[in-house]
Amino acid sequence: MSPETERVHETWIHSDRRIPKGFVRPIMRFTQIEASSGSILLIAALIALIWANAPFGETYDEFWETHLRLEIGPVHFEESLKHIVNDALMVIFFFVVGLEIKRELVVGELRDPKKAALPAIAALGGMILPATIYLIFVAGQGGEATNGWAIPMATDIAFSVGVISLLGSRVSTGAKLFLLALAIADDIGAILVIAIAYTDDLALAWLGAGLVGLVLVYVAQRSGIRSMLFYGVAGVIIWFFIFESGVHATLAGVALGLMTPVYPLYSEDDYYRRSSWILGRFEMNRAAPNHRERLDYDAMQMAAVARESIAPLDRLEHALTPWSSFVVVPLFALANAGVRFADFNEGVGEAITSPIALGVGLGLLFGKLFGISLATWIAVRLGLGKLPSRTGWPQVFGLAGLAGIGFTVALFVTELAFDDPALEDSAKIGIFIGSFIAGVLGYVLLRRSKTPDETIAEQIDESKAAEAVT
C-alpha cells in the first residue's frame, strides 16, 4: 500500500498511537460483542443493590432524588435525577426500539401481518392473566390493595433485552424482535392503564399539543425535509409536551422511532450515477484556476450524496445504539434497581408472604409465562398469528419467562396505586423477587432450547413428514 493510500484511509482511531491502540479500539471491540450490553446492565443493577443496602445506603436515594432545575423564560423544568433518567434519557432507548420495530414492520420479519399481530395478541394475554392472578390473591384484602392490579402487567424492556443479549446467537433475530414488540405492546397497554386508571390530572391540552407535533413531523417528512437538526429539535419539543401531559414520556420516543423513514433518498443506482458525475467533475475542476474552492464544493456534494444514500433509520440506529446500550440503559438500572430491604416496615419475611407480594410476584412469574404462551398458542392455532422464523415453542416459553421482568414500570405503578407505605413495601418485594426469578427462568429456558439453526432444521423435517403423510 502506497503512503498516499495509507493517508487516505488512516484515521486517528485506526492509527498505531498509544491511546487509540491501547484504549479506544479495545472498547470498540467490546461494544460490538452482543452480550456486552447485557453484562454491563446486570453489573449496574448489582451495583445499585449493593449501594442501596450498604451501611451508607441512604445516600443512594439522596443522590437520585437530587433535583435539577432549568428555566427558559416562562418555561421551567424541575425533576430529580431519577426521573430525568427514566423520563428523558430512556426516551433514547425507546426511540432505538421504535427504529428496530419500524424496520422489521417494513422490510423485516414483522412485514408479515400474522407475525406482526402475534406480539400484540401475546401481550394481551400477558396483561390479562397477571392482573387476574393479583386480584385473586388480594380478593380478601379489600380497600386500597385492589388498586395494584396493574402492577404485574408490564414488561421491563431494558432488563429483558439486557438478559436476552447475554444469549447472543442462541436466540434468533425474529425471537428478539417478538420480545421487543411484545414488551412495547404491553408497556403501551400499561401506560394507557396509568393514563386512564391512575392519572387524575391528565393535561389534555399538553397531550393534544404533543399529537399535533407528531402530525407536523409526519407532514415535514412527506414534504421532503431531511434536516436531522429539525427533527431533533421537534423531537425534544414533542417529548416536553407529552411529559407535561402526565402520560409516560417514553411514548414519544416509540412514536418518533416508528415514524422514521426506512428508505434512503437516493437508491443504489442514484448513488452510483450522482457520485460518478461528481467524481468526473472533480477531475475537471482540478485544472481550474480556483480549483480549491471547487474541489471543496465537490467534496461536500459527495458527502451529501453518500449521507442521503443511507436510510435515516440506519444512520440514527448506528449513531444511537452504543449510547443506548452502554450509557442510557446502565444508568437506568443504576437509578432503579436499588431496592433497600432495610426500609421495609413489615420486615422482609412478612412482606414476602403477604397477599400483595404473592399476587405481584406470581403474577409476573406465572401470569406472564402462561398468559403469553397460551395467547400465542391460541393465535397460532386459529391462524391469527405466525411464529417468527427460526423460533420454536421452547423459545416462546423462554421469551414469555423473560417478559415477567416487570421492574421499572411496575415500580412506577406501585407508587401511583398505593398511599400506604406497608402496601408499597409488599409490592416492591414482590416485584423484585418475581422479576428476578422470571429473568433466571427465561434465561435457563432459552439457554437449554435448540439454537435457531437446529430449530429451522426441525421445522423443515416436520414439514417434509407432513407432506409425506398427505
Mean pLDDT of 122-146: 90
Scored b (16 or more CB within 10 A) or e, 407-416 reads bbbbbbbbeb
Q: What is the pLDDT of residue 359?
A: 95
pTM summary value: 0.75
> At residue 195, does pLDDT exceed 80?
no
Lowest pLDDT segment from 195-204, 294-303, 377-386: 195-204
112 contact partners, CB below 8 Å, separation of at least 6: 386
What is the residue-averaged pLDDT of the chain?
Answer: 81
Cell readout for 422 is 406497608
Domain ranges of the chain: 38-63+113-189+331-462
**Do 137 and 362 contact (CB within 8 A), yes or no?**
yes
Cell readout for 239 is 417529548
How do residues 394-418 score in pLDDT, each as one tens digit?
A: 999 999 999 999 877 787 788 778 8
> At residue 8, does pLDDT exceed 50?
no
> At residue 44, does pLDDT exceed 60?
yes
Q: What is the pLDDT of residue 108?
A: 74
Q: Of the segments 123-132, 149-158, 332-341, which one has the largest average pLDDT value? A: 123-132
Please state whether beta strands 75-80 and 67-72 pair in parallel, antiparallel, or not at all (unpaired).
Answer: antiparallel
Q: What is the pLDDT of residue 87?
A: 82
How do residues 58-85 score in pLDDT, each as one tens digit?
A: 899 889 989 888 877 776 777 888 888 8
pLDDT level of residue 288 (50, 70, 90 thresholds):
low
> At residue 375, does pLDDT exceed 90?
yes
How many residues appear in the chain?
A: 470
Which position has the grid cell 443511507? 310
Q: What is the pLDDT of residue 401?
A: 93
Lowest pLDDT segment from 270-274, 289-293, 448-452: 289-293
Q: Which letter does DSSP use for residue 85 in this model?
A: I
Q: In this structure, how many other beta carbons lie within 10 angstroms of the beta carbon of residue 47?
A: 15
Distances (CA, A) of 95 to 209, 258, 448: 20, 8, 32
pLDDT level of residue 346 (50, 70, 90 thresholds):
low
| CA nearest neighbour of 103 among 255, 314, 321 | 314
Q: What is the pLDDT of residue 14?
A: 66
Cα–Cα distance for residue pair 427/75, rounded to 1 Å: 36
Which ranges of 337-420 would DSSP assign to H, the alpha helix?
348-353, 355-362, 368-381, 393-402, 407-417
How do residues 427-463 score in pLDDT, each as one tens digit?
A: 888 998 999 999 999 999 998 887 777 777 766 666 6
Which helix (H) or strand (E) element contains residue 157?
A: helix 157-165
> At residue 28, does pLDDT exceed 70?
no
| CA nearest neighbour of 189 among 370, 434, 403, 441 | 403
Q: What is the pLDDT of residue 80?
A: 87
> At residue 228, does pLDDT exceed 50?
yes
Q: What is the pLDDT of residue 366?
A: 95
pLDDT level of residue 212 (50, 70, 90 thresholds):
very high
* CATH topology assigned to domain 38-63+113-189+331-462: Na+/H+ antiporter like fold (1.20.1530)
Which position has the grid cell 421492574? 407
> At residue 33, does pLDDT exceed 70?
no
**Do 161 and 443 contact (CB within 8 A), yes or no?**
no
Q: In this structure, how many other beta carbons lie within 10 angstroms of the beta carbon of residue 73?
A: 5
Cα–Cα distance for residue pair 432/58, rounded to 1 Å: 19
Higher pLDDT, 109 or 231: 231
Q: Considering just the CA atoms, what is the radius of gyration of the chain in Å?
A: 25
Mean pLDDT of 107-127: 85
Q: Of the segments 138-152, 203-217, 367-381, which one has the largest average pLDDT value? A: 367-381
Mean pLDDT of 304-325: 85
pLDDT level of residue 347 (50, 70, 90 thresholds):
low
Amino acid at 438: A
pLDDT level of residue 382 (50, 70, 90 thresholds):
very high
